[in-house]
Amino acid sequence: MPNIAVPKQLTRTVISARGLTKKYGDFAAVNGISFDVPAGESFGLLGPNGAGKSTTMRMIGGVSQRTSGELAIMGLDPEQHGPEVRAHLGVVPQQDNLDEDLRVRDNLIVYGRYFGLPYSYLRPKADELLEFAQLSDKAKAKVDSLSGGMKRRLTIARSLINEPKILLLDEPTTGLDPQARHILWDRLFRLKEQGVTLVLTTHYMDEAEQLCDRLIVVDKGQIMAEGSPAALIREYSTREVLELRFGSERNATVAAQLEGIGERLETLPDRVLIYTHDGETSLEQVSARGLHPVTSLVRRSSLEDVFLRLTGRSLVD
Ligand SMILES: Nc1ncnc2c1ncn2[C@@H]1O[C@H](COP(=O)(O)OP(=O)(O)O)[C@@H](O)[C@H]1O
Ligand SMILES: [Mg+2]
């Protein structure tokens, strides 16, 4: 068996996965993925629903047993050293699992007691975390009176009670409105500035672009690509994208007449995408062929384009 538990002082890798696999019967939810996360990095798993993101997070968190492969958190196998590994981790699961019977501040205190932390530590810590989560004025409120964004911030505050070095966030902003998402992104950015290693999953390409230093694109339990958002876009897409809409009936037929413009063409049900280094010039070429879209838009390439290129599908369906 290869030993990947390298001593901490020799490496700054805090999470290491090799051939990590999780099967449910014959079905591989996670199918042999390998990655390393260095300390202080904000590392993402970007992929659509069912890609295996939550399953991977649960294996890292030590609450799901892997079928095969190697996994080390701070050099320790979470299946062999559960309590030690959990002491280093903060966990924000995909579904909030706050205690609805307890008031906001008490959720933090009671959770801290599970770690065996004393009240003398927990009381000031809870107040500090409520301040951080912008929930101080809700300290005595009932959990079920909180908005979705507030619940998410409380779950994050709770995950920080043991001052973890690594924070696992499974879809931190799914289901939240844009304003609530931005508040959350700001809080996560602060944690990153404080040196906390962030591992987050998302199917939102803008979230991945905002928060991740580096990410893996996952689909059907496998890694399709790995790199920084900018490097992935450079490698798998062009600088610009020209989006054309000819009306739902016509996109596919017109696409044939666009051949040769730009580097590459994608035909979606509602629009045609021309991948190009210069969107405006490509648009002039479209007009020169006597084609007149209902709408046209030139934009920069995004991780959505990377995903489309890699899988032939959209991230969000
Ligand atoms: N307990 C389970 N039993 C059987 N299949 C599961 C179980 N949990 C997850 N799966 C399947 O594994 C795949 C990956 O799930 P998941 O890790 O939740 O994906 P993601 O978080 O990327 O949406 C999905 O096809 C899902 O249906
Ligand atoms: Mg999930």
Tell how far the Cα of 69 is from the centroid of ligand 1, in angstroms.
18
Give the pLDDT of residue 127: 98
Is 288 found in the same domain as 184? no
Is 223 found in the same domain as 254? no
Q: Could you give the CA distance from residue 280 to residue 258 in angstroms, rounded to a whole number?
A: 15
Give the pLDDT of residue 5: 58
Query: Which of these three, 168, 194, 228, is where a domain ends?
Result: 228
Is 264 found in the same domain as 242? yes
Is 257 found in the same domain as 179? no
Report the number of distinct structural domains present in the chain. Answer: 2
| 53 ligand 1 Cβ < 6 A | yes
Tell how far the Cα of 163 is from the centroid of ligand 1, in angstroms.
30
Give the pLDDT of residue 170: 98
Is 58 found in the same domain as 197? yes
Q: Could you give the CA distance from residue 201 to residue 188 in angstroms, rounded to a whole number?
A: 13
Is 263 found in the same domain as 187? no
Q: Which domain holds residue 154?
A: 8-228
Is 162 found in the same domain as 68? yes
Is 198 found in the same domain as 89? yes
Residue 313: inside a domain, yes or no?
Answer: no
Q: Could you give the CA distance from residue 303 to residue 224 in angstroms, rounded to a whole number?
A: 13
Give the pLDDT of residue 197: 98
Ligand 1: residue whose CA is nearest its atom 1 = 24
CATH code, domain carrying 143: 3.40.50.300
Looking at the CA of residue 55, tell me the nearest atom of ligand 1: 17
Is 175 found in the same domain as 64? yes
Tell how far the Cα of 55 is from the centroid of ligand 2, in angstroms.
7
| 247 ligand 1 Cβ < 6 A | no
| 47 ligand 1 Cβ < 6 A | yes
Q: CB burial class (10 A; 0-12, 13-18, 19+) of residue 269?
A: exposed
CATH code, domain carrying 295: 3.30.70
Question: 21 near 65, Cβ under 8 Å?
Answer: no
Looking at the CA of residue 58, tell me the nearest atom of ligand 1: 17
Residue 205: inside a domain, yes or no?
Answer: yes
Residues 6+ apart with CB under 8 A from 239: 276, 277, 278, 300, 301
Averaged over successive runs of 10 residues, the pLDDT of the chain (317 residues) comes to 53 92 98 97 96 98 96 96 94 95 97 95 98 97 96 97 97 93 94 96 94 97 98 97 93 92 93 97 97 96 95 80
Q: Could you give the CA distance from residue 310 to residue 83 in angstroms, rounded to a whole number?
A: 39
Query: Which of these three, 228, 252, 274, is where a domain ends?
Result: 228
Give the pLDDT of residue 92: 97
Residue 2: inside a domain, yes or no?
Answer: no
Residue 181: inside a domain, yes or no?
Answer: yes
Rounded alpha-carbon distances, angstroms, from residue 247 to 64, 268, 280, 312, 317: 47, 12, 21, 21, 20
Ligand 1: residue whose CA is nearest its atom 17 = 52
The strand ranges marked E within 74-155 are 89-92
Pocket test for ligand 1, best of 22, 27, 53, 55 (most atoms within 8 A of CB): 55
Query: How far does the chain reach from its first CA to its final CA, in angstroms?
Result: 41
Residue 100: inside a domain, yes or no?
Answer: yes
Residue 315: inside a domain, yes or no?
Answer: no
Residue 317: inside a domain, yes or no?
Answer: no
Is 222 found in the same domain as 84? yes
Q: Kindly identify the ligand whose nearest atom is closest to the C-alpha of 171.
A: 2
Give the pLDDT of residue 248: 80
Is 206 found in the same domain as 79? yes
Total residue length of the chain: 317
Query: Which of these three, 165, 199, 228, is where a domain ends?
Result: 228
Q: What is the pLDDT of residues 14-41, one digit of tens each?
A: 999 999 999 999 999 999 999 999 999 9
Q: CB burial class (10 A; 0-12, 13-18, 19+) of residue 258?
A: buried
Nearest Cα to Cα of residue 283 among 299, 267, 307, 266: 299
Rounded alpha-carbon distances, angstroms, from residue 121 to 109, 112, 153: 10, 9, 21
Q: What is the pLDDT of residues 133-166, one digit of tens each?
A: 999 999 999 999 999 999 999 999 999 999 999 9
Tell how far the Cα of 174 is from the centroid of ligand 1, in angstroms.
17
Eight-state DSSP code of residue 143: G
Is 246 found in the same domain as 189? no
Residue 233: inside a domain, yes or no?
Answer: no
Q: What is the pLDDT of residues 274-300, one digit of tens each?
A: 999 999 999 999 999 999 999 999 999
